[in-house]
């Protein structure tokens, strides 16, 4: 379990029951904070990073994390709280907000901001200092079955990050019992497609431009090789709806 320590064209919602992914305490902080009698308190809060702000250096600098987490991620949280005020979705857990606003044109702004809050929360947990390397044996076996090898999986994940036109995300997901790599545009995420996210790589420019400028390929390869959190992927593989 990864506890936090420091510090933007949706699909129909799936018929299956929504599931929680990632560190439960973090998702509770994002999606289920009770305002109690303090009506002015925002429902959704910006979580702290699960590692020191400089812990991913030199792959991702403290400057990148400071801007990405403290400005972009925080902006989505603040926008979401403002947009939810006085709506039927106010007071709902984050996943409910996402699934109920998906494919609803009148609620596109709510969906985009809610999904970006969820995506960023998941992204921070998909990385860890001194990550990459060999996955745990159980996950390695599943990756070998699905892709032929761990190296082939990493190559496909980085290629998906590079191939995404414009802003978006590359994901390792479980599609039933099958593991595969998918990519989504803008704020879209696998939850609305009935897929179980295991890992993600953010390919919005704000994720890498301070450190890599237009060299997205260098960023994607470095993240997959040196920061990817295989243990988090295995936790998500075990988590059931």
- The pair of structure tokens assigned to 234 is 């295995």
Give me the residue label for tokens 């709510």: 110
Cα distance between residue 66 and residue 194, in whole Å? 32
- Residues 29 and 47: beta-carbon distance below 8 Å: yes
How would you classify the pairing of strands 196-202 and 178-185?
unpaired
**Annotated binding residue at 44?**
no
Residues 6+ apart with CB under 8 A from 17: 241
**Annotated binding residue at 141?**
no
- Residues 102 and 111: beta-carbon distance below 8 Å: yes
Question: How many C-beta atoms lie closer than 10 Å to residue 155's C-beta?
Answer: 15
**Annotated binding residue at 78?**
no
Give the total residue count for the chain.
241
**Annotated binding residue at 72?**
no
Question: How many C-beta atoms lie closer than 10 Å to residue 145's C-beta?
Answer: 11
Annotated binding site: 68, 120, 202, 206
Which residues contribute to the annotated binding site for Mn(2+)? Answer: 68, 120, 202, 206
């Amino acid at each position: 379990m990864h506890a936090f320590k420091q510090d933007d064209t949706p699909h129909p919602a799936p018929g299956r029951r929504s599931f929680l992914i990632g560190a439960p305490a973090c998702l509770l902080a994002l999606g289920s904070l009770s305002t109690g009698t303090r009506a002015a308190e925002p429902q959704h809060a910006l979580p702290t990073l699960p590692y020191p702000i400089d812990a991913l250096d030199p792959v991702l600098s403290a400057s990148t994390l400071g801007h990405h987490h403290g400005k972009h991620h925080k902006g989505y949280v603040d926008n979401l709280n403002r947009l939810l005020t006085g709506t039927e979705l106010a007071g709902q857990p984050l996943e409910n907000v996402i699934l109920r606003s998906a494919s609803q044109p009148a609620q596109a702004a709510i969906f985009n901001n809610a999904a970006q809050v969820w995506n960023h929360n998941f992204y921070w947990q998909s990385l860890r200092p001194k990550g990459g390397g060999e996955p745990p044996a159980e996950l390695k076996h599943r990756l070998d079955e699905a892709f032929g090898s761990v190296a082939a999986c990493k190559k496909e994940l980085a290629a998906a990050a590079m191939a995404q036109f414009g802003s978006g995300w590359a994901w390792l997901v479980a599609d039933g019992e099958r593991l595969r790599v998918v990519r989504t545009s803008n704020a879209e995420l696998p939850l609305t497609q009935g897929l179980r996210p295991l890992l993600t790589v953010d390919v919005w420019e704000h994720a890498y431009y301070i450190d890599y400028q237009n060299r997205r390929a260098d960023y994607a390869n470095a993240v997959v090789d040196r920061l990817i959190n295989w243990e988090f992927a295995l936790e998500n593989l075990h988590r059931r709806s």
